[in-house]
Amino acid sequence: MWNRPVDKLIAGMLTLISPDGTVRDGLSITLEETRELYADMVEARTYDHKCMAMQRQGRLATYAPFEGQEAAQIGAAAALRPDDWVAATYRDAALMWRAGYPWALLIAGRTGDERGGQAPDGLNVLPPSITVGGHMIHAVGLAWAEALNGSDRVALTSFGDGATSEGDFHEAMNFAAVYTTPTVFLCQNNGFAISYPRDEQTRSESIAMKADAYGMPGVIVDGNDVAAVLTVVGEAVARARSGEGPTLIEAVTYRLGPHTTSDDPARYRDEDETGEWRTRDPLERVRALLERAGAWTPEWHAELEARSADVIEEAVAEAEALPRPTAAEMLSRMYAQPTGPLRAQLDEIGA
């Protein structure tokens, strides 16, 4: 087992909370902060499970689950300031939510409603990118603009291992380094681009090492360790905020579920591998740590689960209560004002 490329990554990555919950040197967050991060991960997992169930019931369109990647997403978002920019993907609901995006809107999007993409006013989170790789350069432009405008906001872009194969990855990394933009590149290496294993996508030993060629730091972090991710992303954010430029972070993690609800992982991966990663579960290690410190009880956990279930149920109700979108709305959000042909088409549908 110990000669796969991923094992080398695991051996070299920064871990602060081991899979068994023991603490390594350098853990600097408080017990209370750890409890909050744990609670956030429980809430995110509740959302994820709920969406999987709703999709099976036909209440959602295709859904891309993030189970197993909660630490990477919650830890990264927790390192941001509420006014920072986020440009993430279809798999990043937990990250977007922790950055301020309401569950109800995330669910609305998944029911197939464009209103789900309308971030609340003042929140600098873009709609999730469905095209692989197209959005990384946006985080360069966002961050560049902030720097030019003299603000100290940063932009974080999250993407998968697969996205680093797109030409757009190269352009984004190069621009960010050339213009020293305050951009944080967070790659969640979850082992696969749909069925295509990370080790076949690139002959590079790591994704982080690609940073070197662009002239920016690259860091490998245990993506299933919320504290390590928070620390590493926190350092990259601080670097960016102080004008030192971009960082590429490779969070080593694993997608425990299918690529999407249309995918059958049995066609391309071994259940043993998934089982092995279940032992590295991002929630379980924090639970073990907290329990050892006397800060976790089954009662508290049950309370968290019940509260999360309520919160998610409410969000579902809110999303499903949105009035059926009309054809006129569809035709009216293409331009600031409907153009001539669209006005004619609005007439045609009787709007």
Partner 1 sequence: MSEQTLAQALNGALATALETDERVVLLGEDIGRTGGVFRITDGLRAKYGEDRVFDTPVAESGIVGAAFGMAIAGMRPVAELQFLGFSYPAYDQIINHVARIRNRSNHRFTAPMVIRVPYGGGIGAAEHHSESTEAIYAHIPGLKVVVPSTPSDARGLLLAAIEDPDPVLFLEPIRLYRAVKEEVSELYYTTEIGPMRVEREGRDITLISWGAMIKETRAAAGQLEEKGASVEVLDLRTLSPIDQDGIVASAAKTGRVVVVHEAPRTAGLGAEVAAIIQERVLYSLLAPVRRVAGWDTVFPLKRSEAHYLPSPDRIVRAAEETLEA
The residues of the shown chain that bind Mg ion, judged by CB under 5 A, are 160-162, 190, 192
Instruction: Compute how many other C-beta atoms are within 10 angstroms of the C-beta atom of residue 230.
Output: 24
CB 108 within 8 A of CB 325: no
Query: What DSSP string runs through 36-54?
Result: HHHHHHHHHHHHHHHHHHH
Does the annotation count 135 as an active-site position? no
- At 196, list the tokens: 């295509």
CA distance 98 to 207: 25
Active site residue 280: no
293 is a contact residue toward partner 1 (CB under 8 A): no
The reply to whether 131 sits near ligand TPP by the rule CB under 6 A is: yes
* Per-state percent for the chain, helix, strand, coil, to nearest 5: 50, 10, 40
Please give the residues from 134 up to 173 whose contact with ligand TPP meets the rule CB under 6 A: 159-163
Radius of gyration of the chain (CA): 21
User: Per-residue x/- mask for partner 1, residues 313 to 342, rule CB under 8 A?
Assistant: -----------xxxx-xxx--x----x-xx
Check residue 119 for interaction with ligand TPP (CB under 6 A). Answer: no
Using CB under 8 A as the binding criterion, the count of chain residues that bind partner 1 stands at: 43
**Residue 289 in contact with residue 227, Cβ under 8 Å?**
no
Helix extents (H) in the chain: 5-12, 31-56, 70-78, 93-98, 103-111, 136-148, 167-178, 198-201, 210-214, 226-241, 271-278, 282-292, 298-320, 327-332, 340-348
Q: Is 168 in the site for partner 1 (CB under 8 A)?
A: yes
Q: List the catalytic residue out of 268, 278, 292, 333.
A: 268
Dist. CA 66–CA 225, nearest whole Å: 15
Is residue 182 near ligand TPP by the rule CB under 6 A? no
Q: How far is CA 66 from the centre of its chain?
A: 8
Is residue 345 within the footprint of partner 1 (CB under 8 A)?
yes
Which sign does the torsion angle of CA 185, 190, 195, 200 carry?
positive
Chosen from ligand TPP, Mg ion, partner 1, none, partner binding at 91 (C-beta under 5 to 8 Å by type):
ligand TPP
Interface with partner 1, residue 113, by CB under 8 A: yes
Q: Is 259 known to be catalytic?
A: yes
Residues 6+ apart with CB under 8 A from 294: none
Written as one letter, the residue type at 203 is R
Number of residues that bind ligand TPP (CB under 6 A): 15
Interface with ligand TPP in residues 185-214 (CB under 6 A): 190, 192-194
In eight-state DSSP terms, residue 115 is G
Task: Provide the minimum distance between the beta carbon of 326 and Mg ion in the complex, in angstroms, as a whole number.
Answer: 37
Q: Which stretch binds partner 1 (CB under 8 A): 45-53, 104-112, 206-214, 309-317?
A: 104-112
In whole angstroms, the minimum distance from the beta carbon of 302 to partner 1 comes to: 35
CB of 136 to partner 1, least distance (A): 13
Which one among 18, 174, 180, 202 touches partner 1, defined by CB under 8 A?
202
Catalytic (active-site) positions:
255, 259, 268
Binding region for partner 1 (CB under 8 A) = 61-62, 90, 109, 111-114, 130-134, 162-163, 165-168, 193-196, 200-202, 262, 264, 267-268, 324-327, 329-331, 334, 339, 341-342, 345, 349
